[in-house]
Structure 1
Amino acid sequence: MARIAGIDIPREKRVEIALTYVYGIGLTRSKLILANTGVNPDTRVKDLSDGDVQKLRGATEEFTLEGDLRRKEGMALKRLQDIGCVRGRRHRMSLPVRGQRTRTNARTRRGSRKTVAGRKK
Structure 2
Amino acid sequence: MARIAGVDLPKKKRLEYALTYIYGIGLHTSRKILDATGLDYNKRVFELSEDEAATIAKEIRSSGIAVEGDLRKQVAMDIKALMDLGSYRGLRHRKGLPCRGQKTKTNARTRKGKKKTVGSATK
Q: Provide the residue aligned with 1:14 in structure 2.
A: 14
Q: Provide the residue aligned with 1:70 in structure 2.
A: 72
Q: Deviations along 1:3-60, whole A, 9 cap, x unmatched? A: 2112221222211121111111112211121122111011111111233222211211
Count of residue pairs the alignment pairs up: 121
1:91 has 2:100 as partner: no
Aligned-residue sequence identity (percent) comes to: 50
Q: Deviations along 1:69-120, whole A, 9 cap, x unmatched? A: 0000000000111111111110010111022222222222112221222578
* Mapped partners of 2:121, 2:17: distance in 1: 55
Query: AA paired with 1:10?
Result: P
Scaled by the length of structure 2, the TM-score of the pair is 0.87
Q: Provide the residue aligned with 1:82 in structure 2.
A: 84
Name the SS of the counterpart of 2:43 in structure 1: coil
Q: Provide the residue aligned with 2:119 in structure 1.
A: 117
Scaled by the length of structure 1, the TM-score of the pair is 0.89
Q: Provide the residue aligned with 1:41 in structure 2.
A: 41
Name the SS of the counterpart of 2:57 in structure 1: helix
Runs of 4+ residues over 3 Å off in structure 1: 118-121
Question: Cα RMSD over matched residues?
Answer: 1.8
- Give structure 2 stretches of 5+ with no counterpart: none
Query: AA paired with 2:14?
Result: R
Q: Provide the residue aligned with 1:55 in structure 2.
A: 55
Worse-superposed segment, 9-18 or 66-75:
9-18
